[in-house]
Amino acid sequence: MDKKSEYTGKNIQVLEGLEGIRLRPSMYIGNTGKEGLHHLIYEVVDNSVDEALAGYCKKIEVKLNKDGSATVKDDGRGIPVDIHPKQKIPAVEVALTKLHAGGKFDKKSYVISGGLHGVGISVVNALSKKMIAEINRDRKIYTQEYSKGVRKTKLKVIGKSNETGTKITFWPDEEIFSTLEFDYKVLETRFREIAFLNPGLKIILIDENKNKKEEFFAAGGLIEFVKWINKSKEAIHKPIYFKKEAKETIIEVAIQYNKGYRENIFGFVNTINTVEGGTHVSGFKTALTRVINDYAKKKGLIKNGNGSLSGDDVREGLTVILSLKMKDPQFEGQTKTKLGNSEIKGAVDSSVTLALGEYFEENPTVAKKITTKALDSAKARLAAKKARDLVRRKNAFSLGGLPGKLADCSSKKSDNTELYIVEGLSAAGTAKDARNKEIQAILPLKGKILNVEKANPVKSLSSEEIVNLITVIGTGVGENFNIDKLRYNKTIIMTDADVDGEHIKTLLLTFFFRYMKKLIENGNVYVALPPLYRIRKGQKDFYVYSDEELKKKTEKISGSSAVTRFKGLGEMSSTQLWDTTMNPKTRKIKKIFIEDAVEANHTFTMLMGDDVQGRKEFIAENAQKAELDI
């Protein structure tokens, strides 16, 4: 037998303890970059939030320490310290060193839990070079130290205390993570959400490195949350709030319409932000459309036979927070943040239909304002359709109904094709010469597209460039979006590496976020990363993608070299563009995903909308990070 193909029992490895986590950390925390690093804090905080959901914790303190460690302290019951009946070691040691161990599998300890799989704190332990657990319980203070998931000291009593709670301090392992620097802003966003979703829970964030401290507390819960999201918009009524229980699930909803055009539905399940939606969001949308249509017909605002309002009509200018507290949530989707429990759709639908129907009857003034806005949206939708049809007739379309300026690819299989959206005719010409014609299509942009954040849907969907974009991608927009009609597996934004290029990139991302959000959620939107510099040494070229990389590269290359700064894609030859930016085997592209839908919405509103003050504050706060490019 060929020894290379020998596969027997001795080839099967058993990884004891938490070794498997250190070998494949991305399986547990997503990645080993910035997101994965912050995930460590979220996992520890989630344990404290579970104590709050169970009714035992009122305060959580998160501290970023000067030595690079992070401390999470709560005033809950404290992790149990008694000897585990089967493992014969303290229960806290079981929770911190055994995978799939914890109170979340005991339906009595935590009826509702934010953690998904009960792996949280043991994963944090495995990926930390050092962890110290301190527990206040039974009028004593207990402590135990670990390293890389392994116990270093036995559990011991170090003092007395009348308080209860858990304090975890951990030092992320530099062997695992590419960065060890926690981002205050990222944590601030997450903790604000948790405070809104858990009225009465106080979260304190302290950064000793920057001497910053902030407290998050929202006695008003979801009502305060929806007001905070709409703070830079003009609301047309006070928030509508109701709380119902169905199928052992607590359903909380806060609704507020504003005079804008954007739809913002934020779903949460056990404080987890379900950025991809799911059955709870579907149930809400169905109920909202039904209730507003029924009310409009009942009051004679829609005459019999005159059709009905669409989902897009009733959600224009809508901001809603939908928060569920439930047992055994089943998550699916691209980022495992889409609720899949089938029974929840009906439960949310019936609860919202009943509660919102009652509210409309008791508050006719608000009901009329909301219904009138939806009717106005329907009129605008019809006007937009006529305008779109007019634009299509005006344009010189090629066979198949595609814009004439599109250089399509020959392959008709969408699973391996790519659409490059390219800034300017010059760059598009180079890209057309550079591309693999079988799988890569090129769509040139004529200048900057419309800022859809400020424009109403009629104007946005009448714009020639936007109509071309929608036509080429093929999925449709809004309620008519259909991923099955997607023409290209990857939509890649490719712009110049200058201020104008960054602006065009932002305008395009704003369009995708507002009109084709599911395209981002499905993982189909990318940004090309062309090189900033070429270093020529003799007959050999080296390409670098940042100023930091340039410095390192020039230090490594001995002797004299002519560094070239690429300001625009058109400055490269087709061969250079292919080698550096378009060749799937050698290029760098950035996948766009939505980490936090609430923060993404806030950022787009602030950067691209009418929130002038917010934009000024953002510029002032980030000015020191900007680099002057002459």
Q: Which has more confidence, 606 or 180?
A: 180
| Selection from 112, 82, 87, 83 nearest residue 100 by Cα | 87
> Do 461 and 605 reside in the same domain of the chain?
yes
Q: What is the structure's pLDDT at 397? A: 41
User: Has residue 270 been placed in a domain?
Assistant: yes
Q: List the domain range (segments joined by +) for residue 595.
A: 407-530+590-622
Please check whether residue 4 lies inside any domain of the structure: no
Tell me whether residue 401 is in a domain.
no
Per the model's pLDDT, the better-predicted residue between 307 and 179 turns out to be 179
The pLDDT of 186-208, averaged and rounded, is 95
Residue 379 domain flag: yes
Mean pLDDT of all residues in 393-408:
63
**What would the mean pLDDT of 508-515 be, rounded to a whole number?**
94
In CATH, what number is assigned to the domain containing residue 53? 3.30.565.10
The least confident of 114-123, 299-308, 600-609, 613-622 is 114-123
How confident is the model over 228-232, as a mean pLDDT?
A: 91
Domain co-membership, 374 together with 420 = no
Q: Confidence class of residue 388 from pLDDT cuts 50, 70 and 90?
A: low
Q: Mark whether 237 and 269 lie in a shared domain.
A: yes
The residue to which tokens 């939505």 are assigned: 594
For 318, counting Cβ atoms within 10 Å of its Cβ (0-12 exposed, 13-18 middle, 19+ buried), the class is buried
pLDDT of residue 248: 87
- For residue 159, the cross-strand partners are 141
Same-domain pairing of 64 and 134: yes
- Between 571 and 317, where is the model more confident? 317
**pLDDT confidence tier of residue 9, bands split at 50, 70 and 90:** very low
What pLDDT does residue 630 have?
Answer: 47
Which CATH number covers residue 371?
3.30.230.10
Tell me the pLDDT of the chain averaged across its residues. Answer: 87
What local confidence, expressed as pLDDT, does residue 4 receive?
Answer: 44
The mean pLDDT of 399-419, rounded to a whole number, is 81
The residue with greater pLDDT, 85 or 526, is 526
pLDDT reading at 546 higher than 90: no
Higher pLDDT: 513 or 9? It is 513
Task: Tell me how far apart the alpha carbons of residues 14 and 11 are, in angstroms, rounded to a whole number.
Answer: 10
List residues with catalytic annotation: 423, 496, 498, 500
Question: What pLDDT is attached to residue 177?
Answer: 95
Residues 488 and 605 reside in one and the same domain: yes
- Same domain? 416 vs 524: yes
Q: What is the DSSP string of 472-534?
A: HH-S-SGGG--GGG-S-SEEEEE--SSHHHHHHHHHHHHHHHHH-HHHHHTT-EEEE---SEE
Per-residue confidence (pLDDT) for residue 389, from 0 to 100 = 63
CA proximity to 267, closest of 566, 589, 517:
517
pLDDT in tens, 448-504: 899 999 888 888 888 888 988 999 999 988 878 899 999 999 999 999 878 888 899
What does pTM read for this prediction? 0.77
Tell me which of 167, 193, 216 is where a domain ends.
216
pLDDT at 119 over 70: no
pLDDT at 12: 40
- Whether residue 269 is found in the same domain as residue 414: no
**Nearest CA-CA partner of 448 in 507, 388, 391:** 507
- Specify the pLDDT at position 335: 64
Q: What is the pLDDT of residues 146-166, one digit of tens each?
A: 999 999 999 999 999 999 999
Q: Where are the beta strands (DSSP E) in 234-289?
A: 240-246, 249-257, 264-269, 272-273
Q: How large is the average pLDDT for residues 224-250?
A: 93
Answer whether residue 560 is part of any domain: no
199 and 236 share a domain?
no
- Same domain, residue pair 30 and 128: yes
pLDDT digit string, tens, across residues 84-105:
888 888 999 988 988 765 555 4
Total count of residues recorded for the chain: 630
The pLDDT of 389-411, averaged and rounded, is: 65
Average pLDDT over residues 350-377: 96
Check residues 428 and 562 and name the one with the higher pLDDT: 428
% the chain with pLDDT above 90 = 56
Residue 569 falls within a domain, yes or no? no
pLDDT reported for residue 111: 59
pLDDT for residue 74: 97
- Looking at the domain assignment, is residue 467 inside a domain? yes
pLDDT at 280 > cutoff 80: yes
Instruction: Indicate whether 409 pLDDT > 90.
Output: yes
Position 324 in a domain: yes
User: Are both 181 and 77 inside the same structural domain?
Assistant: yes
412, 356: one domain: no
Domains identified in the chain, total number: 3
pLDDT at residue number 379: 86
Range with lowest mean pLDDT among 195-204, 232-241, 593-602, 611-620: 611-620
